[in-house]
Structure 1
Amino acid sequence: MFAEQSIAMTKTIPELKQVASQVRRDIVRMVHGCQSGHPGGSLGCTDFLTALYFSVMEHNPQFSMDGVGEDLFFLSNGHISPVFYSVLAHAGYFDKSELATFRKLNSRVQGHPTTHEKLPGVRIASGSLGQGLSVGIGAALAKKLNGDNKTVFTLHGDGELQEGQIWEAAMFAPHHKVDNLIATVDVNGQQIDGPTDKIMSLIDLAAKWTAFGWDVMTMNGNDMEDVVKVLNDAKGRTGQGKPIVILMTTGMGYGVDFMMGSHKWHGVAPNDEQLAAALAQLEETLGDY
């Protein structure tokens, strides 16, 4: 039954890097095409989402909302939808030609993922920050109640951790031993208004999550080898009584030199000249949509 319901993709590190390069091309082209969107965080999280869907998770592109017998992923920081849509398309959830409709009228690939569009791969609407951890915990508990031994993954921005609901969920999960949950925080140090240290300092995140009772891991989110290793290690640490959180260091805008490390590219689209400069740095590996 399991083999019919979920698929574990096993791409090599060089193959994963090729997918990531194409995904980054998709991101800048999608945001440029509608002159709207969030390229910075999308580019920074590309290696993570690529590794998750093409190496780590057991999932089924023949999408069902229930996700029985497969690993689940919930994108909490929904504004980085370009990377999510591109990865889903290349993983076979829908045709990549649909990426050309990003943020356009009557498109299923809206600026923030929505469930009423019925886009395969999207299980929650995410745009309002702070909610994805609660949803992930609920899904993880449902799997436990159903005797489903698969894992739930969530992704969050570091600026998102300024939302109070995150810390309510962070208390809840260890108390209820939600040990089939792996939450990842994109620690890029940037948010829409500037550096997180200046807007609302997060101080010592590892100490915070440890104090709340989580199993804390760290990862270089822009090193594909490290991403694959740490995610697989995290999966191996499930079922031991604690939820797991990975503090993933990334560079906002990673892969495009003039976007890297600046909050200014959180939600700004490149112009024609900037698009050409970005694409010149990103190899076309799987064919542009």
Structure 2
Amino acid sequence: MQTRSEKTGSNVSLPRRAWSIRRNALLMGEVQGQGYIGQALGVADALATAYFHAMTYRADDPEWEGRDRFYLSIGHYAIALYAALIEAGVLPEDEIPTYGMDDSRMPMSGMAAYTPGMEITGGSLGHGLGIAVGAALGLKRKNNPAFVYNLLSDGELGEGSTWEAVMSAVQWKLDNLIAIVDFNNQQADGPTRDALAVGAEAPKWAAFGWYAQEVDGNDLDALVAAFDNARNHAEAKPRVIICNTKMCKGVPFLEARESNHFIRVEADEWAKALAVLDEGKPL
């Protein structure tokens, strides 16, 4: 069985991994003609860093007890995680055409019972970090050295349950918990900054007792450094990486759309989006 460092193709560059994740997401989006494509393109760099730099797992044994756990709190980001799981070899590429179909292992909202590598059923929003706190505490009590990563959205920072989990993680000194916040400043009803997320994010988390970093979530070098810092931080406290990302990153004509929380793409635009992405294919 293979760990992260032993997987076939482990010499593939992180930019190429992120590009592949974006491409997988576009191919799945084309199946339905719509979806949360903006989030998938925006968070691809963070997912590439998590799965191909930071985490330990076995692609052929998604329930291996020694694995690092990746908890997707934001259930509607499932297309992004599927794209990463396909690139990681947990899910087969030939299932892309089944995305969102009846009996597919890749429903449009993530459900743990359906999908290998999907650790939890995400949404309603604001619950994922609490689940991750429980899992991290359980691993500690079993003396399991694995990490728990929890991807949550900036919109979830407006949920009270998120901050209850933030406080609990500090109480239990969960230094095996790494939260990743995708801060793209978009919610269904408008900009996150116009809701409850006012001011810089890292100081808020630090005030609660977390080791907090805020980075450009589309800068792979910055992400690698942040993930390394999070794993290696010496203090017995939980860690958070706030990733400022751009919706639809990598496809400029989609980036330019005024509203891209949920995207409907015309039939001819999928080929255009793939062509634009392919033009920038990294080594």
How many angstroms apart in 1 are the aligned matches of 2:213 and 2:6?
A: 24
Give how far 1:64 is off: 4.3
Name the residue aligned to 1:186: 182
Aligned to 1:102: 99
Q: How far apart are the structure 2 equivalents of 1:62 and 1:263?
A: 41
Aligned CA RMSD, in angstroms, stands at 2.1
The answer on 1:280 being equivalent to 2:275 is: yes
Equivalent in the alignment of 1:252 = 247
Query: Which letter does structure 1 place at the counterpart of 2:124?
Result: S
Give the residue type in structure 2 aligned to 1:25: R
Q: Secondary structure at the match of 2:86?
A: helix
Contact 1:32 / 1:271 at 8 angstroms: preserved in 2? no
- Secondary structure (helix, strand or coil) at the match of 2:194 reads helix
Q: Which residue type is aligned with residue 196 of structure 1?
A: T
Q: Deviations over 1:154-186 (max 9, x none)?
A: 111101211111011011110111111110111
Query: Aligned-pair distance for 1:153?
Result: 0.7
1:203-262 deviations in Å (ceiling 9; x for gaps):
23222111111111122111112112211121111x621100111111111111122265
Q: Distance in 2 between matches of 1:143 and 1:73?
A: 14
Instruction: Please list, as runs of the form range in 1=range in 2, the aligned pairs for 1:217-256 lying within 5 A after superposition.
Output: 217-237=213-233, 240-256=235-251
Highest RCO, 1 vs 2 (Cα 8 Å, sep ≥ 6): 1
Name the residue aligned to 1:51: 49
Aligned identity (percent) is 36
**Structure 1: gaps spanning 5 or more residues:** none
SS in 2 for 1:246: strand
The equivalent residue for 1:82 is: 79
Pairwise CA distance, 1:268:
1.5
Post-superposition, which runs of at least 4 consecutive aligned residues in structure 1 deviate over 6 A? none
Question: 2:170 is matched with which residue: 154, 167, 174?
Answer: 174
Following TM superposition, by how much is the alpha carbon of 1:102 offset from its aligned partner in structure 2, in angstroms?
0.8
What does residue range 103-252 of structure 1 map to in structure 2 within 5 Å?
Answer: 103-117=100-114, 119-237=115-233, 240-252=235-247
Question: Any conservation in 2 of the 1:155–1:185 contact (CA below 8 Å)?
Answer: yes
Gaps of 5+ in 2: none
Preserved CA contact (<8 Å) 1:22 1:283? no
State the TM-score, normalizing by the size of structure 1: 0.90
Provide the TM-score with structure 2 as the length reference: 0.92
Aligned pairs, number = 279
Q: 1:16 to 1:146 in 2, by over 3 A?
A: same
Mapping of residues 8-87 of structure 1, within 5 Å: 8=5, 11=10, 15-65=13-63, 67-87=64-84
